[in-house]
Structure 1
């Protein structure tokens, strides 16, 4: 199975597990902007520089709290 297929399977599993939970903009969820401590050339330096990044949180039936990121459009700089 390719990396893209693994990512798609995990995304589908998280989506199914989350039920009706909807993702919210990352800055709204975290309530502040973050700066990457070790800058990598060509990648965003701040959280607010990542367009379309959203965070979804949910609690599983057994009480485990999970959170994951959702991109509405995957940036070109992020290889899969």
Structure 2
């Protein structure tokens, strides 16, 4: 395949089949784990998964929003 021409849909399907057949098992859990991990250093020295910065910040923001909601809906009555 030359780099200066477009590929046909059949060629794209064939390339995707080759890519996915090379991977023995595509598991949803592994895909989610790979996307949630830190892109620079996905594992710690002990081999544990290191969460991504965006995931940690999103979780902290969600916790803060829930705490604020509960404070103003339940705590402000007293």
Alignment TM class, shorter chain as reference = under 0.3
Which one has a larger percent helix, Structure 1 or Structure 2? 2
Q: What TM-score results when the alignment is normalised by the length of structure 1?
A: 0.27
Per residue, is there more strand in 1 or in 2? 1
TM-score by length of 2: 0.28
